[in-house]
Amino acid sequence: MSLSELVRRRPPGDPGSPGKPRGAAPPAPPAPVPTRKIGWRVRLKRDRSLLLMVTPAIVLLGVFAYVPMLGNVIAWQDYSPYTGFLRSPYVGWAHFERVFSNPLFVDAVANTLIITAFQLVFFFPIPIFLALLLNSVITPRTRTTIQAIVYLPHFFSWVLVVTVFQQIFGGAGLINQTLRDHGLGSGFDMMTNPDTFLILITMQSVWKDAGWGIIIFLAALSTVPPEQYEAAAVDGANRWRRMWHISLPALRPVIILLLILRLGDALTVGFEQLILQRQAVGADVSEVIDTYVYFQGVVYGDWSFAAAAGLVKGVVSLALVLGANKLAHVFGESGVYKRA
Amino acid sequence: MSGQATEISAEAAVLPEVRRRPRRSKHRPAWEGRPSVGGQALKFVVLALVVLAVAFPLYTVVLTSLSTQAETIRVGGLVTVPGELTFSAYTQILNGGIVTRAALVSTFVTIVGTILSTTVSVMGAYGLSRPGSFAHRPILFVFLITMFFGAGLIPTYLLVSSLGLINSYWALILPGAVSAFNVLILRNFFMGIDISILDAARIDGAGDWRILGRIVLPMSRAVVAVVALFYGVGYWNAFFNAILYINDNAKWPLQLVLRSYVLQGVTLPGSGVGQVDVATGAVTGMPVKMAVMVLAIVPILIVYPFVQRHFTKGVIFGAIKG
Amino acid sequence: MNATPTFGRLGDHAVDRRRFLGLIATGAAVVGIPGLLTACSTTAPSAGSSSAAAGDVIPKYIPVTYIDPDYPSVNGSVPGYETIPPELVQSVKDAPGTGVVYTAMTPLWGTIPPTKGNKYYEAVNELLGSEIQFQITDGNVYGDKLATVLASAKDVPDWVSIPSWNLPPRFGADIVENVFQDLTPFLAGDKVTPYANLANIPSDAWKFCVFNGKLYGLPFPGEVITNATFYRQDVLEGLGITPDVKNGQDLIDLAVELTGGSVWGAEDLWTTAAIIHAVPPKWKLDGDTLVHRVETEEYRAALEWNAALFASGAVHPDAVADQTGDAKARFQSGKSLITADGVGGWHEALRDNLTSNPSYWQQPFEPFDAAGGTPVLWKGNPADIFSFLKKTDDEDRIKELIAMANVLAAPFGTTEYDTISSGVEGVHYTRGADGLPVPTELAATELQPTYIFLVDPPMSETHVQYPGYVKAASEWKANAAQYATDPLFYAQQIVEPQEYASIGQPFVDLEKDISRGRKSMDDLDAAIETWQTSGGEELRAFYQDILDQQS
């Protein structure tokens, strides 16, 4: 038999078969593999080629991620590069105490979480929306052209992005200059206003990265067989219903995955973007965990402090991801990894 | 955006008419109804705004790169109205052959790195994609950890140095070869493939290598292309590894060399430097900085259509069949 | 060791360096930032304990003059030369090298030159007699490279350049003795005599190279007065304004007067504020008590003055948004008319503008005091970049490298200086009708300043190509130098305890916040209190100890 035949074989019970538009369920749930009944030896033997496939990745990560990760022991040391990891004196949890004892740290955590929450609501959905919109443009040339333009700002540096925004929205920028020329007052300097900073940085992020974020969703949409749309259309489902019942469910697993991973990144927000605009609005609104660690530790070559802060961040991030993953399971999603 | 009911009626009203109309978009499938005028207009406006928001700054960047230094000083920033145009910023960068050499280095590193990373990640993702397979949860955890716990500069440097990779192109590839994020994305897509297809193949005696190569990969072209793009862009843009690990300046990748053009002309005030700016003369102005920006984007512009082709492959394939 | 403004000679380029931080087209430049911002906002903790006995280890100062300057040095100001001498002197008769290859690590703020077949390198190496093989690193992230290389002794090259702001923490405590060669036995006192060009470097610069009571570094000497406040004289003349600024209020008034339409009077003048109020770079002696910069009345007054300037509305909005990277562009395009810059920024501005705008002229205000009294100008670091030789038991190797350094330190008027700065005649430049070197295209690719980061002669003002510049600059510098004052602990390398390294960090933010009216003097009081309780007092005691030992 030919394997390529299998590829073309329409999956049985497939939503693509003529029928009503399906509810918001992901494609056919995988048949549960009865793991409990099989002993681990048998499974090891059965899955040996799978394990072999994972091996190169594990080796690479083991050598280039895990070995240097051991260097984080300096978080418990009074580390000096010359003395090295082995001989630097052990100082217990002192560096961790330093991370937490500074009142600025609390502010930085608060700012970080506010920015993350805001961007989760006002940034995260935009690429999804744009992907659906683009996907509905039927002329391939228009679609690809638009796509090829909107993803380019991703490759601009933050310095350029900030400069562009300054030249448009700044106190001497295009908008304010026009207002002044027409005697409409000097308007409103968005670039130096701490109250609107959250909106400003979200606008910048959207401008820079929303187009790039589309790509992964477009890839997900391209996996939907057109027959599904056809069948739904024949059944009388309009555009909105087809988007709601076919396109969105196709995106759902990847949306959930990205959402969970974004949560894991909740403590990481645009370091470079914020550091560039820190003095324009003041540290009170722009200090986040990464900039705090940078200014308290990295600038002064205080590697131990930076390592301790990094570990704290890692633990919290991991906890957030695992928590979000659990939550996804509760809602019947597979998340990062499924329950066995 | 209007209520669903009106949408439906609008569609219903148009549908029969569509069949009679000889002029219709050749791209619109037969079953597709004619879109409502309001919806189309809205879509057009939104997309036009999005494109404009991106295209205008892009235009000023390109225009500035083609302007004279004097013009940029006159306007005091990015140029928006074309004045005297010149390619001097580009010739200044491309003269001397260093950029060409560095572009070759970058191309090599990007191609080798992307192939390696994508292969390893696809294998890893498939190896973890079968529900209930041996030890897949602990292994996933091993991947996940690397996303949240980093290593400092110094330990990584010491490792690369002790492996003897200083001054080797492998130092630009191996340390970041596997991204857990990309593996998770791939795995997510692989798991979306209907398991009954895979089971059928297995029953027919196909091993996992065959299933991966002949079923999973062909069905996952789009996501593999995306992940390859992620890796490729990562390798192409990376410069910091080269700063740390490459001492031989002839082996510098393109981004590092381009960076150095942005720094050019910052003569340090000082005794020995007294005449240096007489000698070199060249100064980094806005045009050169913007030209660097444009040059960095060009290869990505060239590669992107190849990636994008895979997004529509599945659709065309299906369409022929349908 | 914290919120000192960038007083270093290279500090005036901090602005540029910051601007370069991501103008690079790459997406993820984040890792690249550390070294860079260190240079901008803080002075790296210096290293090496002070030593009252520094005098015994530094080389004897034996000045040489190959050409008499048209504007001689006054009070240590930089001498000026109106012409390039037609006859050059070869200061070192025979190339000292033995034909070996030495590796050297240096930063570069410029285009990477080809390392193979580079005629400029060949010419200089010929003068040296041995080859220096450069490992060039982007100056913005040089600190990161240094930190990693110094942690791996086997990767340390023979000759390492270290800018003072990139000195790694614990450099004096751990690194310098273990990794680098003590040069005291080779250069102290009279031992420097055979190396005439090294002996020509003033004592303060050498003194700054002393760590733990021993001489380790070779210096890149600095300028006595590092910063100035410039105004666009050409534009002001066009407006019919002749500035007469005698005190701080005059300057604000002028800035307000110049503001209107799409032109603003000033950039962020915090540097100016610190200068005219004589804010000490680090410590000040008030009777017997050490007072830290942030505790001084001068600091407070400077903040109030700068806040008044911002409040007047005369500061360009982009400067309010702290877009410092474009400050020079705004000033040079006439969108803002007063700016603070390093003195080296003067001739650079002429270089960048005279071709397209022949009437361009920027002029520094003569030094003045905020209250109209006698100005006090604190001296800048006597050296901003050092280089170190890798530790070895092979004395001849060290001697050879020192002899090579002696060639590189050849001052203006020598053939060595000429080759190092201009390359080879006929290859890298040709003589124009006026005798000035005209660079060839090859110079743009090959000739990048790399040797200068190893060792340098004392400064000289030789930008003869800009009409009137040498005269104006030399006269201004000579006038300013009369007010030059040694700050406390001048030219000393002091290792501060690591745990207090970051306590001054809040003041960096506070300076911006108070200037922009986001915070008040009450916030300053609170910050000072926090500073005192979180290590400031310990730091004071630490410095008091040093002071006691020295007296």
Alpha carbon distance C462, C479 (integer Å) = 18
Does residue C2 sit within a domain? Answer: no
Q: What CATH class does A104-330 carry?
A: mainly alpha
Cα A196 from chain centre: 23
Mean pLDDT computed over C166-171? 81
Mean pLDDT computed over C165-180? 84
- B28: tokens are 């619109």
Helix/strand/coil for B121: helix
Residue keyed to tokens 């187009």: A211
Alpha carbon distance C26, C19 (integer Å) = 14
Q: Using the beta-carbon criterion (under 8 Å), do A58 and B142 form an inter-chain contact? A: yes
In tens, the pLDDT along C388-402 reads: 999 999 999 999 999
> Is B4 a residue whose pLDDT tops 80?
no
Closest chain C C-alpha to B48 CA, distance in angstroms: 26
Alpha helices in C154-200 (DSSP H): 176-179, 184-187, 196-199
What is the longest distance spanned by two Cα atoms in chain C? 68
Q: Which residue of C has its CA nearest to B70?
A: C356
Q: Which residue of A has its CA nearest to C40?
A: A299
Query: CA dihedral defined by B134, B138, B140, B146, rounded to 10 degrees?
Result: -150
In tens, the pLDDT along A212-229 reads: 999 899 888 888 887 888
Between positions 173 and 212 of B, the ones with CB within 8 A of A are: 174-178, 180-181, 183-185, 188-189, 191-192, 194-197, 199-201, 204, 206-210, 212
C288 and C424, same domain (yes or no): no
Q: Using the beta-carbon criterion (under 8 Å), do B4 and A238 form an inter-chain contact? A: yes
Identify the H or E element spanning C339: strand C336-342
Range of the domain at C269: 227-378+496-550
Helix/strand/coil for C479: helix
Neighbours of chain B (3+ CB pairs under 8 A): A, C
Q: A8 or A112: whose pLDDT is higher?
A: A112
Chain C contact for A278, CB < 8 A?
Answer: yes
pLDDT at position C17 is 30
Chain A contact for B136, CB < 8 A?
Answer: yes
Contacts 24+ apart (CB under 8 A), A55-59: A56/B120, A56/B123, A56/B124, A57/B120, A57/B121, A57/B123, A57/B124, A57/B143, A57/B178, A57/B183, A58/B124, A58/B139, A58/B142
Mean pLDDT computed over A138-154? 84
Number of structural domains (chain C) is 2
In tens, the pLDDT along B111-170 reads: 999 999 999 999 999 999 988 888 888 999 999 999 999 888 889 999 999 999 999 999
C306 and C407, same domain (yes or no): no
Q: How far is CA B280 from CA B286, C48, C113, C438, in A?
A: 18, 37, 11, 9
Q: Using the beta-carbon criterion (under 8 Å), do B50 and A28 form an inter-chain contact? A: no
**Facing B151 at nearest CB: one of A46, A65, A223:** A65
**Facing B279 at nearest CB: one of C157, C223, C428:** C428
C278 exposure class (CB count in 10 Å sphere: 0-12, 13-18, 19+):
buried
**Facing B266 at nearest CB: one of C109, C135, C343:** C109
Alpha carbon distance C303, C310 (integer Å) = 11
- C244: tokens are 């007469």
Contacts of B33 in chain A (CB under 8 A): 233, 238-239
Does residue C135 sit within a domain? Answer: yes
Alpha carbon distance A207, A197 (integer Å) = 15
Confidence class of residue A297 from pLDDT cuts 50, 70 and 90?
A: confident
What count of other Cβ atoms lies within 10 Å of the Cβ of residue C368?
20
Q: Give chain B's mean pLDDT.
A: 79
Alpha carbon distance B255, C24 (integer Å) = 8
Alpha carbon distance C40, B267 (integer Å) = 17
Confidence class of residue C13 from pLDDT cuts 50, 70 and 90?
A: very low
Q: Using the beta-carbon criterion (under 8 Å), do A222 and B178 form an inter-chain contact? A: no
Angle between the B37-65 and A197-221 helix axes, to the nearest 10 degrees?
A: 110
In tens, the pLDDT along C375-384 reads: 999 998 898 8
CB C201 within 8 A of CB C62: no
Chain A contact for B303, CB < 8 A?
Answer: no
Q: Using the beta-carbon criterion (under 8 Å), do A313 and B191 form an inter-chain contact? A: no
Which are the contacts of C503, defined by CB distance < 8 A and separation ≥ 6?
Answer: C2, C531, C534, C535, C536, C539
In tens, the pLDDT along B227-236 reads: 999 999 999 9
Helix/strand/coil for C416: helix
Contacts of B269 in chain C (CB under 8 A): 9-10, 12-13, 223, 342-345, 347-348
- A190: tokens are 């968005």
Does residue C11 sit within a domain? Answer: no
Chain A contact for C172, CB < 8 A?
Answer: no
C260 and C190, same domain (yes or no): no
Alpha helices in A47-173 (DSSP H): 48-61, 67-69, 94-101, 103-122, 125-135, 140-150, 158-169
Identify the H or E element spanning B73: helix B69-75
Identify the H or E element spanning C431: strand C429-431
Chain B contact for C421, CB < 8 A?
Answer: yes
C203 and C258, same domain (yes or no): no
Q: Using the beta-carbon criterion (under 8 Å), do C19 and A166 form an inter-chain contact? A: no
Q: Using the beta-carbon criterion (under 8 Å), do B259 and C151 form an inter-chain contact? A: no
CB C72 within 8 A of CB C78: no
CA geometry: angle at C372 spanning C367 and C375, to 5°? Answer: 40
**Facing A83 at nearest CB: one of C174, C264, C516:** C174
> Is A339 a residue whose pLDDT tops 70?
no
Question: Of C449, C464, C479, which residue sits at a domain end?
Answer: C464
Between positions 236 and 255 of C, the ones with CB within 8 A of B are: none
C429 and C505, same domain (yes or no): no
- C439: tokens are 């660079």
Contacts of B315 in chain A (CB under 8 A): 222, 226
C57 and C76, same domain (yes or no): yes
Q: Using the beta-carbon criterion (under 8 Å), do C353 and B292 form an inter-chain contact? A: no
Contacts of C500 in chain A (CB under 8 A): none
Does residue C483 sit within a domain? Answer: no
Q: Report the Cα–Cα distance between both ends of chain B, in Å, rounded.
A: 31
Written in H, E and C, the secondary structure of C41-104 is HCCCCCCCCCCCCHHHHCECCCCCCCCCCCECCCCCCCCECCCCCCCCECCCCCCCCCCCEEEE
- C415: tokens are 């053939």
Residue C461 is given by DSSP the state B
According to DSSP, the residues that pair with C164 across neighbouring strands are none
Contacts of B96 in chain C (CB under 8 A): 114, 444-445
pLDDT at position B289 is 82
Alpha carbon distance A131, A213 (integer Å) = 9
C63 and C98, same domain (yes or no): yes
CB C459 within 8 A of CB B271: yes
Q: C223 or A274: whose pLDDT is higher?
A: A274
C440 and C519, same domain (yes or no): no
**Facing C457 at nearest CB: one of B239, B249, B271:** B271
Most confident of A245-254, B247-256, C471-480: C471-480
Alpha carbon distance C444, B260 (integer Å) = 13
Q: Using the beta-carbon criterion (under 8 Å), do A147 and B28 form an inter-chain contact? A: no
Confidence class of residue A40 from pLDDT cuts 50, 70 and 90?
A: confident
What is the longest distance spanned by two Cα atoms in chain A? 82
Q: Which residue of C has its CA nearest to B258?
A: C24
In tens, the pLDDT along C296-320 reads: 999 999 999 999 999 999 999 999 9
Per-residue b or e along C441-469, where b marks 16 or more CB atoms closer than 10 Å to that residue's CB: ebbbbbbbbbbbbbbbbbbbbbbbbbeeb
C185 and C278, same domain (yes or no): no
Confidence class of residue A14 from pLDDT cuts 50, 70 and 90?
A: very low
C86 and C179, same domain (yes or no): yes
Contacts of A244 in chain B (CB under 8 A): none
C158 and C274, same domain (yes or no): no
Query: From the CA atom positions of chain B, what is the Rg in Å?
Result: 26
Contacts of B252 in chain C (CB under 8 A): 112
Confidence class of residue B31 from pLDDT cuts 50, 70 and 90?
A: low
C278 and C330, same domain (yes or no): yes
Q: Give chain A's mean pLDDT.
A: 82
Domain with CATH 1.10.3720.10 in chain A: 104-330
> Is C209 a residue whose pLDDT tops 60?
yes
Neighbours of chain C (3+ CB pairs under 8 A): A, B
Q: Using the beta-carbon criterion (under 8 Å), do B69 and C356 form an inter-chain contact? A: yes
CB C130 within 8 A of CB C98: yes
**Facing B272 at nearest CB: one of C343, C437, C456:** C456
Mutate to test the interface with B, among C15, C26, C326, C461 (most CBs of B within 10 A): C26
Q: Using the beta-carbon criterion (under 8 Å), do B243 and C137 form an inter-chain contact? A: yes
Residue keyed to tokens 């803080």: C42
Between positions 65 and 94 of B, the ones with CB within 8 A of C are: 68-70, 72-77, 92
> Is A12 a residue whose pLDDT tops 90?
no
Helix/strand/coil for A46: helix
Closest chain B C-alpha to C273 CA, distance in angstroms: 23
Cα C226 from chain centre: 7
Does residue C479 sit within a domain? Answer: no
pLDDT at position C51 is 42
- C78: tokens are 């930089």
Contacts of C114 in chain B (CB under 8 A): 96-98, 250
Q: Domain with C196 in it: what CATH number?
A: 3.40.190.10
Chain B contact for C303, CB < 8 A?
Answer: no
Between positions 145 and 164 of B, the ones with CB within 8 A of A are: 145-152, 154-156, 158-159
Which are the contacts of B240, defined by CB distance < 8 A and separation ≥ 6?
Answer: C31, C32, C141, C144
Alpha carbon distance C513, C471 (integer Å) = 39
Chain A contact for C329, CB < 8 A?
Answer: no
